[in-house]
Amino acid sequence: SAPIPMKGPSNGGTLDALAKATSTCRACGLSAGRTTVVFGAGSAKADLMIVGEAPGHYEDLRGEPFVGRSGQLLTKMLSAIGFERADVYITNVVKCRPPENRSPAADEIAACSPVLHRQLELVGPKAILTLGNFASQTLLETDEGISKIRGSIRAYRGVPLVPTYHPAALLRNPHLKKDSWEDLKTLCKVMGRNVP
């Protein structure tokens, strides 16, 4: 895959160093409207890394990913497959909240993704769960939509990656929960865990 560009915050040698460097990032326009950089949360040695889209209102205020309504659903999804939030590492494609919760723009994703790639390198998960279009498309370098991509096992730099719907999509369209559950079971299989 493409080399990690060195633009943006410098690549720290640890997750903490990278978080510190990222906390003052001005690499894209989203920095102007943020309250807090939402770097990521959970275990730095996690076997599972989860990637969402972008911080929303509550995440921006708290500086923590997935603490709003989508986050509550994500916590339940994880718990259904035997994970606590503290067991996994959770982050987003972009670390600053887009205004009015609009989708992140291509240039914002490009500015921020070196941080995401470096987080993946530093955490070194055994599996990756991508939530929705932006995370799946960014890590898989594809334009295909999530409804096409999900249901398969992909790879990111040799690490198995399971793409699934974003919890916000599940909240809007509860009928998608059935497929989402299949994806979570696939994730368990990929990780050699008991499938509920």
Question: How many residues at the interface with ligand URA, by CB under 6 A?
Answer: 12
Dihedral pair phi/psi, residue 9, rounded to 5°: -60, 145
CA distances from 165 to 9, 15, 179 (A): 29, 27, 8
Shortest separation between residue 70's beta carbon and ligand URA, angstroms: 4
DSSP secondary structure letter of residue 164: E
| Residues comprising the chain, all counted | 196
- Rule CB under 6 A: choose which of 15, 28, 37, 53 binds ligand URA: 53
- Rule CB under 6 A: choose which of 9, 65, 114, 163 binds ligand URA: 65
Shortest separation between residue 89's beta carbon and ligand URA, angstroms: 13
User: Which residues is 160 bridged to in the sheet?
Assistant: 155
> Judged by CB, which is closer to ligand URA: 43, or 70?
70
Q: Which residue is nearest to ligand URA (CB)?
A: 52
User: Exposure pattern of 3-35 as b/e (b: 16+ CB <10 Å)?
Assistant: eeeeebbebbeebeebbebbeebebbebbeebe
- Rule CB under 6 A: choose which of 19, 30, 41, 54 binds ligand URA: 54
- Rule CB under 6 A: choose which of 43, 92, 180, 186 binds ligand URA: 92
Give the residues lining the site for ligand URA (CB under 6 A).
52-56, 59, 65-66, 68, 70-71, 92
